[in-house]
Amino acid sequence: MLSEQQRLDFLYRLASALQKADSSVPAILQTALRLTARTLEMEYGCVVTFYQDDRPGEVFLLGADAQKQDSRAWQEFVRRGLVGYVQYGQRIIVVRDIATDPRWETGKLSDLPRSGSAVGVPLQKGGQMYGVMILTHPQVDAFDKDTLNLLEATSNYISALVGNALVFNMSPRDETRFQWLFEGAVVPIIVTDLDGYIVDVNRKATEFLAYRREQLLRLPITAIHRMGTGPIGANRFDSLVSGQEVEFRTSAWRRDGADIPVLVRAQRIFLDDHDVIAWVEQDITTQLELDQLRQDLTAMVYHDLRGPLHAVYGSLTTLGRLLANNSPSAVLDLLQVGVRSTRQLSRMIESLLDIQRLEAGKAILDSKPTSLHNLLASAAQLIQPLATEANQRLAFELNDDLPFVEVDSDMILRVVTNLMENALKYSPSGGFIRLGAHLTEDGVRISVTDSGPGIPEHMQRQIFDKFSRVKYHDVPKGIGLGLAFCRLAVEAHGGNIWVENMPGQGATFIFTLPANASSEPVLAPA
């Protein structure tokens, strides 16, 4: 019924509409029902919700306000009709022909269609059934596989929002349902008054903190965990009281003295005629341990690679000198390819190690006054053979008055070569790469311009994140760490990096560095 682009457009519009809508359950269900029915050209639609005891609650009809449906007619529709089949089976069920399928039991509900096809979609999360969405189409057998996949994705998204809304926006009449969710939650939940004193905790919170419930009541939330450090932490409680949702990492203190790292999500809600704050505390110990293990393993692999690679590079360089006067040019050319390749691999490994160090907040260790002109010339010298092999031209726009810069020259050299290698990768044969640099009021501005397809606007910020890359046909694939290293290295030197371009006409990567007008230049590494 819908093309792939139309399905993606619908999911985007649904997400946008639900983000703008009131976060209450009725607003979520009415908005989702209206958009889904309109996009799929449905004739009829409704959502039947359930109480915890499986009785039908409110029914949201397409184009009408929610109704309390306690009548026998709706109870029959739930028990014997399609709603009941979906509720029992907890899966999507299709009625290909309403007129002949016994599962379309309408009873005395005269406004339900009598012909066409229908589908029942469960709204559930974590085994909890929130409701069933019913949609009908005037044609028989109107629901194809792609439409059902779209409805499944829609159901998952709606169910997640409804689940959150039930926790954070529960009305007083749903107190019993809230209490069931509260006690049955798999994460610790703490409820405080607006002054931050605990008024309730769920069972998981008492287990997690190793306290009895009565020991926690009336304690300040700051006795359980700190709000954070610095001005941001000091303002978090004020933000909560004003109605903002807050999320932060901190440590929770158990009764036995253990500090447990937690991700805290908190929001002001209205519960039992009172304004309170609900705090959801997620233990992230395992996540942090896995992150640390990944970092340790990565660093170990990089270090283990660096030693043998340096040995190969040294051996090839020495062999080249020994054979320089007694070997055919073809042999020397092959040796140079090996030397360049090992040098390139060495730069990659050093960059990966630097990513680890810079992300850990470690300072730059080898910062010296360096001639920017010499550094850029060294980068061009390294890239020139690659450009020649790729049939691409290098152009230079370097001002003669370039100052000295206080940098780790090896690190910034790798930034420039990374940008130039990317430019070569994305430029076609016969294209050009332009390296430029000029003095500004605050320092220096270095740029690398290619003649490739450019960077889409929506990717221009995220390409500097780890593992992010622009996907183009006929371009070698990478793992998306080069530009992440460039960003971390430039920012560690007090500069900024960004990209400017017109799609289809090439991209210009630009970064800035503070200038150092004194001292003698230091030769950039070859």
Q: Where are the domains of the chain?
A: 4-169, 174-283, 287-359, 368-514
In this predicted structure, the answer to whether residue 124 has a pLDDT above a threshold of 90 is no
> What CA–CA distances, in Å, run from 41 to 62, 122, 173, 225?
12, 20, 35, 51
The reply to whether 174-283 shares the fold of 4-169 is yes
| Residue position matching structure tokens 């290098």 | 394
404-435 pLDDT per residue, tens: 889 999 889 989 998 998 898 888 888 889 99
Residue 100: DSSP 8-state: T
Give the pLDDT score at 84.
87
In this predicted structure, the answer to whether residue 400 has a pLDDT above a threshold of 50 is yes
165-211 pLDDT per residue, tens: 665 554 444 555 566 667 777 789 999 988 888 989 998 999 999 99
Bridge pairing between strands 128-137 and 44-50: antiparallel
Mean pLDDT of 224-234: 57
Among 202, 196, 199, 244, which Cα is nearest to 221's? 196
**Six-digit token pair at 393?**
């031209």
The three-point CA angle 59-60-61 to 5° equals 110
79-114 pLDDT per residue, tens: 778 888 898 888 999 999 999 998 887 777 777 888
- Which band of pLDDT confidence, cut at 50, 70 and 90, is reported for residue 346? confident
Instruction: Give the C-alpha separation, 124 to 121, whole Å.
Output: 9
Pick the CATH number of 368-514 from 1.10.10.10, 3.30.565.10, 3.10.20.30, 3.30.870.10: 3.30.565.10
In this predicted structure, the answer to whether residue 162 has a pLDDT above a threshold of 60 is yes
Give the pLDDT score at 120.
94
Residue 370: count other Cβ atoms within 10 Å of its Cβ.
Answer: 25
Pick the CATH number of 174-283 from 3.30.450.20, 3.40.50.800, 3.55.40.20, 3.30.470.20: 3.30.450.20
Give the pLDDT score at 232.
39
**Residue type, position 116, single letter:** G
- Which band of pLDDT confidence, cut at 50, 70 and 90, is reported for residue 229? very low
- Which band of pLDDT confidence, cut at 50, 70 and 90, is reported for residue 282? confident
For 108-154, what is the HEC assignment? CCCCCCCCCEEEEEEEEECCEEEEEEEEEECCCCCCCHHHHHHHHHH
Pick the CATH number of 4-169 from 3.40.640.10, 3.30.450.40, 3.40.1260.20, 3.40.50.300: 3.30.450.40
List helix spans (H) across 360-408. 372-389
Lowest mean pLDDT among 17-26, 90-99, 272-281, 508-517: 17-26
> Bridge-partner residues for 283, per DSSP?
262
